[in-house]
A and B are shown apart, each in its own frame.
Chain A
Amino acid sequence: MSLVDTRTPDPKKFIKGATGDWEMVIGLEIHAQVTSESKLFSGSSTEFGQPPNSNVSFVDAAMPGMLPTINEECVRQAVRTGLGLKAKINNRSIFDRKNYFYPDLPQGYQISQFKDPIVGEGVVKLDMGKDGEVEIGIERLHLEQDAGKSIHDLHPNMSLIDLNRSGVALMEIVSKPDIRSSEEARSFIAKIRTILRYLGTCDGNMEQGSLRADINVSVRAPGGEFGTRCEIKNVNSMRFAVAAIEYEARRQIDILEDGGTIDQETRLFDSKSGKTRSMRSKEEAHDYRYFPDPDLLPLEFDDEFVAELAKNLPELPDEKHDRFVNDYKITPYDASVLISSRINADFFENVAKGRDGKLAANWVINEFFGRLAKEDLSVANSPINAQQLGSIIDLISGGDISGKIAKDLFEIVWVEGGEPAKIVEERGMKQVSDTGAIEKIIEEIIAANPEQVAKVKEKPQLAGWFVGQVMKASQGKANPQAVNKILKEKLGL
């Protein structure tokens, strides 16, 4: 690929070195396991966590004479993902053999796509908060087979091989070298994961290895020529990605400032030490000897096939974000929090429908998500449903309870469950808007505190003390607006 610099150097992202400023240039290759029942070229299961070599057919084990037959659903998933990345779909693509020798690769080659991938160039938008929106180019997406798994720590002098993952479909999503900080890289991985999860084309589970990233890092003088890159393989968490990039950029800067040069090489990130180390030296560098797989004809489909998939695509995160801002009048920041997953976004919409969007966003994000995070729960196993939270908000909007009482009510519903309106009724939590009752309380307080009354005539801002007393006497149930109004009248302010 030809390298084009699409970004304007931003001094905020520069790294200070001994000889001056440096800028990182990062490109990512994300390997995303395709959500499918069976493998890319065989009929064995993709289910995770099965006994060793039980999800393996003779095709996956590369027994002589076995031939691959492509899984049509994996093709659809790749096209859907391409559409989600606003990318060019190639109606004709070719499978190649990528040759290398490793015990967990029984074929001796991985079936992949080299020159003619199924998906071409696209673009992903990142919301970088106060730094605004950043566009990261997508170079390509191709389909390929996953390898099996080697386990090195179960036996003193043997490695154990499990081919269950061998032949599972992967999408490799390659970014352009448009990323300029570890934070952007983290945000890019998160955004890709969100898009994949919305589309249902990959579960995005990094702990199980369904999503992993190879990270290309180089450094250069700000805005200068691209430097020599190193590739950090198989990073399986966003936190590790940030740590690996920060370490690697610093390592390269130190070498260059000492007058050295960077060797283009593959490196591994060790999460325990927080460092990267060389994985393969240049002499052993792989020569993959790609060539078209003679067992497979070109993968071809027509525009109608793509149009049908496009028609049935779900609403994507960016579209949902804009719709939330427009329809519910919430801030772009709140919208980006709410759309982070489809289930969260759906929950918000169920709460917000027919209600004040801002109030709903506030309650869903601060009280509800806050409480879920505190108890390490998710929307799926929340003790409160959208309907219950919605009726709490109705009670606030209707003037039945104050915001403060609403928090107590939320706590009760969270712990005990039940119908919010009924709880308010039964436990006498209703806000007192009856002016007669409030007047009576205020009169008593004024009568009992002549000194404060004298003071407040001098300093009207002391009225707050009276509000506090009234709220205390009413156990928080007095309607604050009514209290303010009557207090002003009675105190003659």
Chain B
Amino acid sequence: MSVDADIVRRIGHLARIKLKEENLQGLAGELNTILGFVEQLDEVDVSGVEPMTSVIPSTLRVRKDEVTDGGYSDKITSNAPISEDGFFMVPKVVE
């Protein structure tokens, strides 16, 4: 797959990253290089091989249904640029 300026603009928008129009072409080139490395993996025949989900043989760890965390809204919002009455405050977003 080949990435062009339009695709870069689109994924930038989906991630809400502000991209300068003059940088799109350069970013497309960089992304294509990365994808090129990844595409080399396609040369390996993996038919019949189970996808590996972990590098060590282990199973999903589970937790008991108990309340063991939370109750510190001051810490949660302490890095927020703006907060009020325990809420995060963000520029108005209405759909």
Contact = CB atoms under 8 A, between A and B. Distances in A.
Nearest to A56: B76
B82 A158 contact: yes
A160 B94 CA distance: 11
B20 interface: no
Interface residues of B, number: 37
Given A100-B14, A298-B60, A73 B65 contact: yes
A252 interface: no
Contact of B92 (A69, A100, A159): A159
Interface stretch (A16-24, A39-47, A243-251, A391-399): A39-47
Given A45-B67, A101-B15, A279-B95, A75 B76 contact: no
Contacts of B91: 157-159
Given A38-B65, A55-B70, A298-B60, A268 B95 contact: yes
A274 interface: no
Interface in A125-156: 150-152, 155
Contacts of A225: none
Given A52-B86, A52-B87, A54-B71, A71 B76 contact: no
Chain B interface main SS type = loop
Given A43-B63, A72-B64, A163-B76, A158 B90 contact: yes
Given A152-B92, A279-B95, A72 B87 contact: no
A65 to B, nearest CB: 14
Contacts, number: 134
A204 to B, nearest CB: 19
Given A159-B93, A160-B84, A296 B73 contact: no
A3 interface: no
The 9 A-B residue pairs with the shortest CB-CB distance, nearest first, are A44-B70, A73-B65, A43-B68, A57-B69, A43-B69, A53-B73, A161-B88, A52-B86, A160-B87
Interface of B: 10, 14-16, 53-54, 58-73, 76-77, 82, 84-95
Given A43-B63, A268-B95, 8 more contacts: A37-B65, A38-B69, A53-B87, A57-B69, A70-B60, A152-B94, A279-B95, A297-B59
Interface of A: 36-38, 42-45, 51-61, 69-75, 99-103, 108, 150-152, 155, 157-163, 268, 279-280, 286-287, 289, 292, 296-300
